[in-house]
């Protein structure tokens, strides 16, 4: 389904991100965020927006960088 959506040239997709909170405890970090997806049809002015709330769990790596180890998100659209 993702491949079909991305190959559909009649629509454009744009994601934006809003970080709500970051909590750090040792080598773990929790990020509460909202992803907003805008889908716009190229041939009309129609635009659809969907907000997805999420939580990402990061772990500090041996070199000091952070990588996502778990994530959850859910769509709040009706």
Q: What is the count of structural domains for the chain?
A: 1
What pLDDT is attached to residue 66?
98
Cα separation of 53 and 28, whole Å?
20
CATH number at residue 37: 3.10.450.50
| Phi, psi for residue 2 in degrees, rounded to 5 | -60, -45
This prediction has a pTM of 0.71
Q: Which pLDDT tens digit goes with each residue over 2-29?
A: 788 778 888 888 999 999 999 999 999 9
Range(s) of the domain holding residue 28: 2-75
- Quick count: other Cβ atoms within 10 Å of Cβ 25? 7
Consecutive H or E run containing 64: none
With 90 as the cut, is the pLDDT of residue 43 above it? no
In whole angstroms, what is the distance from residue 61 CA to residue 35 CA? Answer: 25
């Amino acid at each position: 389904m993702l491949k079909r959506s991305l190959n559909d040239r009649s629509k454009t997709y744009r994601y934006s991100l809003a970080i709500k909170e970051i909590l750090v405890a040792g080598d773990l970090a929790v990020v509460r965020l909202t992803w907003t997806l805008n889908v716009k049809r190229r041939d009309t002015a129609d635009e659809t927006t969907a907000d997805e709330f999420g939580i990402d769990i990061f772990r500090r790596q041996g070199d000091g960088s952070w990588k996502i180890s778990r994530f959850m998100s859910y769509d709040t659209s009706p």
